[in-house]
A and B are shown apart, each in its own frame.
Chain A
Amino acid sequence: MTPTSRNLSVNFYRLLLAFPAGLALANLLAAALAIGLFKFGMAQSEAMTLGLLAAYLAMPAWMLWIYCTANLAWLGAKGLLLGLLCAIVIYFP
């Protein structure tokens, strides 16, 4: 495999990872923000809308970040940490 074709494959794998991972993280963030803000007294529809706006703004940046990060292990660790934080907000009673 030539270096060029290896770079091409790696970049395409990154792209394939970036989209679903970005969307999944954005969904987690939107839900966590909505639930968190609702618990702090904001109206449910307003909290959800604010969560969605934040997630929409974060999503393209995340995708590029996932795509640009060379170290997949480090990227996975950070993604898991964020996912864990969101899951605590969502599922912690």
Chain B
Amino acid sequence: MTPSIRQHMAWFHTWFGLVIGFLLFSVFWTGTLTVFDKEFDRWMHPESRSVQSQCCSLTAAQLETVLLKVHALAPEPANIRFHLPTARTPMPSVRITEHDNTLKTYYIDPDTGKALPGEYTLGGTGFFFPFHYKFNIAWMNVGYYMLGIAGLAMLTLLISGVVLHRKLLAEFFLFRPKKNRARSLLDLHNLSSVVALPFYITITFSGLLILFSIYFQWATLTAFDGDKAASQKAMSGFINLPPSGFVENDNQKLAALKRIPAIVQAREAAWSAALGEHTTADAINIRNLGDSNALLEIRRVFPERSIGMSTHTDTFLLHTDELLHAHEPKPIKSFTHWITGLHFIQFDHAALRVLYAIGGLLGCVMIHTGFLFWLESRRVQHHTRKLSGFAVVQALSVGGTLGMMIATAAFLVANQLIPHHVANRATLETDVFYSVWVLAIVWAFINAVTYKSKQWLTPTWLFTALCALAWLLNQINTGGMVTALRLQEMNSFAIDVGLLFMVASGVYAARKLTAPARVSRLNKEAFECN
């Protein structure tokens, strides 16, 4: 007999969700952390909090100071990218790419020209953010494709979930914590799925749309007759002028850099006049400085008072000030920028950002309860038939979900404990993250195979203790919440509040886990065995 569509969907939802769930959890967890990536940057790099410029624009003199400092730091760069100050990053940050592709990052005080090396820590923007969209795997775009599979899987799982649960509205109001464990877990899984369903669809679809140039590389190239430069110019305003080979001397380079502030101010004035409101550039890109084909890009990527991620980019030939291209997206492209802007959440609205974080955490709950329901509904059956699948899935669930959370907390603790002067300190921090994650997975496997109990309780306590330790170390090292309040430094204050929330949640969950469970004799036997 041919299975019905719902039976197909049930199999798909159960088994595919189980296989891909670990990947999805890491995307949701790091995505939730990335909502506050710049806040993590401040928390993890306390010295950067002290560099304060007038928010959120630079005077021509300040911009010139920054540019000259960059020239002193890297006289022969391949690419320089500035991010001008914003409320969340109250100082200019600079990323310098050398010709051998080495990358240096700095925060620069626009008043004194003092440069703080960004190598101190990768922070939120350098670690959580790339983990969210490519799992920090750069080789052959493998990370992007893994994310693509996870994103498409999420969309298909959402569709199959909706097909499966016909009483969608009823499940919104249904949670029976006093029922048996499997029933309660399914209720919680359904509830966390339905309550944020529009959020999950939006965030997954917009996430996939951002990376169209990777997943739809063939289609884009084909539609533009194989002309990559034409497709880049039309789709994102990117112009790639190859170096002429004519190298300019140091005085010519300095003269070119000193002209930039005036060009930026002129563009900002032109944008403001066109839009009828004060508009500032948020990023400046200089490519091939020193070559006569050096390009200057002035971007207004994330206007703070707008959801849409803009790609209004003006590209100049630096040495002649000639405007080569002023990229203005057309209506359909602007619509996709609005959708991707929903994903990037760079708009100036703190309450909405908190809602995004809640949505992300609900996603984590949805995935985690999915695993738990799979385990609980098979516990007795697997125990009776002596199947090993239960132990494997349980170990992967513990390592893949709680293990990742523990690794995150350990990453923050390492950030507080590793001394300032240690070489490659940022790499050490990430080593701690990956080592702890691997150890958590190994521990979970050993525990599952040897039928030890407290599979969930020990990691929960460990996560809670590490969050508490990270919070405490920040209070000792930097003065923590009191100093942050005194200096009106709300970025790091927000992370401290988040850590306290995690501690409270961890304590609550651990107390629930220690409460005696009401289970049948067979279930109890299986519970003790597994």
Q: Which residue of chain B lies nearest to A22 when distances are taken between CB atoms in the complex?
A: B152
Q: Which 7 A-B residue pairs are closest in the complex by CB-CB distance?
A: A34-B223, A30-B219, A45-B234, A60-B155, A31-B219, A31-B222, A27-B219
Q: In the complex the two chains form, is B159's CB within 8 Å of A60's CB?
A: yes
In angstroms, Cα B527 to Cα A92, docked, is 65
In residues 3-45 of chain B, which contact A (Cβ within 8 Å)?
A: 5, 8-9, 11-12, 15-16
* A90 is an interface residue with CB less than 8 A from chain B: yes
Please give the distance in Å from B464's CB to the nearest CB on chain A. 37
* A17 is an interface residue with CB less than 8 A from chain B: no
A49 proximity list for chain B (CB < 8 A): 235, 332-333, 335-336
A43 with B159: in contact, given A30-B216, A52-B219, A63-B152 (CB under 8 Å)? no
* B116 is an interface residue with CB less than 8 A from chain A: no
* B224 is an interface residue with CB less than 8 A from chain A: yes
Please give the distance in Å from A52's CB to the nearest CB on chain B. 5
Chain B contact residues: helix, strand, loop or mixed? helix
Q: In the complex the two chains form, is A27's CB within 8 Å of B155's CB?
A: no
In angstroms, Cα B212 to Cα A56, docked, is 9
Please give the distance in Å from A33's CB to the nearest CB on chain B. 9
- List B residues at the A interface (Cβ < 8 Å): 2, 5, 8-9, 11-12, 15-16, 149, 152, 155-156, 159-160, 205, 208-209, 212, 215-216, 218-220, 222-224, 231, 234-235, 329-333, 335-336
B149 proximity list for chain A (CB < 8 A): 19
A35 proximity list for chain B (CB < 8 A): 222-223
Please give the distance in Å from A22's CB to the nearest CB on chain B. 8
* A23 is an interface residue with CB less than 8 A from chain B: yes
Report the interface size for chain A: residues with CB under 8 A from the other chain: 36
In residues 1-59 of chain A, which contact B (Cβ within 8 Å)?
A: 7, 11, 15, 19, 22-23, 26-28, 30-31, 34-35, 38, 43-53, 55-56, 59
In angstroms, Cα B159 to Cα A44, docked, is 32
Please give the distance in Å from B313's CB to the nearest CB on chain A. 14
In angstroms, Cα B336 to Cα A50, docked, is 9
Q: In the complex the two chains form, is B223's CB within 8 Å of A11's CB?
A: no
Task: Determine which of B2, B156, B205, B332 lies in contact with A70 in the assembled complex, contact meaning CB atoms within 8 Å.
Answer: B2
- List A residues at the B interface (Cβ < 8 Å): 7, 11, 15, 19, 22-23, 26-28, 30-31, 34-35, 38, 43-53, 55-56, 59-61, 63-64, 67-68, 70, 90
Please give the distance in Å from A90's CB to the nearest CB on chain B. 6
Q: In the complex the two chains form, is B331's CB within 8 Å of A46's CB?
A: yes
Q: In the complex the two chains form, is B234's CB within 8 Å of A55's CB?
A: no
Please give the distance in Å from B160's CB to the nearest CB on chain A. 7
Task: Determine which of A11, A59, A60 lies in contact with B11 in the assembled complex, contact meaning CB atoms within 8 Å.
Answer: A11
In angstroms, Cα B317 to Cα A72, docked, is 56
Chain A contact residues: helix, strand, loop or mixed? helix
A52 with B11: in contact, given A31-B218, A46-B330, A60-B156 (CB under 8 Å)? no
- Given A23-B152, A31-B219, A44-B223: 18 more A-B contacts, CB < 8 Å: A11-B11, A11-B12, A22-B152, A23-B215, A26-B216, A35-B223, A38-B223, A45-B234, A46-B331, A48-B220, A49-B335, A52-B209, A55-B219, A60-B159, A61-B159, A63-B156, A64-B159, A70-B2
Q: In the complex the two chains form, is A64's CB within 8 Å of B336's CB?
A: no
Q: In the complex the two chains form, is A43's CB within 8 Å of B330's CB?
A: yes
Q: Which residue of chain B lies nearest to A18 when distances are taken between CB atoms in the complex?
A: B156
In angstroms, Cα B389 to Cα A86, docked, is 44
B209 proximity list for chain A (CB < 8 A): 52-53, 56
A51 with B219: in contact, given A46-B331, A67-B12 (CB under 8 Å)? yes
Please give the distance in Å from A24's CB to the nearest CB on chain B. 9
Instruction: Give the interface centre of B16, B156, B215, B234 by most chain A CB atoms within 10 Å.
Output: B156
Q: Which residue of chain B lies nearest to A63 when distances are taken between CB atoms in the complex?
A: B156
In angstroms, Cα B162 to Cα A61, docked, is 13
B212 proximity list for chain A (CB < 8 A): 52, 56
Please give the distance in Å from A13's CB to the nearest CB on chain B. 13
B231 proximity list for chain A (CB < 8 A): 48
A-B CB contact pairs (8 Å), 23 listed: A19-B152, A27-B216, A30-B223, A31-B220, A34-B219, A45-B234, A45-B235, A45-B329, A45-B330, A46-B333, A48-B219, A48-B220, A49-B235, A49-B333, A49-B335, A49-B336, A52-B209, A52-B212, A52-B220, A52-B336, A53-B336, A59-B155, A67-B12
A48 proximity list for chain B (CB < 8 A): 219-220, 223-224, 231, 234-235
Q: Which residue of chain A lies nearest to B230 when distances are taken between CB atoms in the complex?
A: A44
B159 proximity list for chain A (CB < 8 A): 60-61, 64
A50 proximity list for chain B (CB < 8 A): 332
Q: Which residue of chain A lies nearest to B148 when distances are taken between CB atoms in the complex?
A: A23
In angstroms, Cα B8 to Cα A7, docked, is 11
Q: Which residue of chain B lies nearest to A90 when distances are taken between CB atoms in the complex?
A: B222
In angstroms, Cα B332 to Cα A43, docked, is 10
B156 proximity list for chain A (CB < 8 A): 60, 63-64
A68 with B216: in contact, given A11-B11, A47-B223, A49-B336 (CB under 8 Å)? no
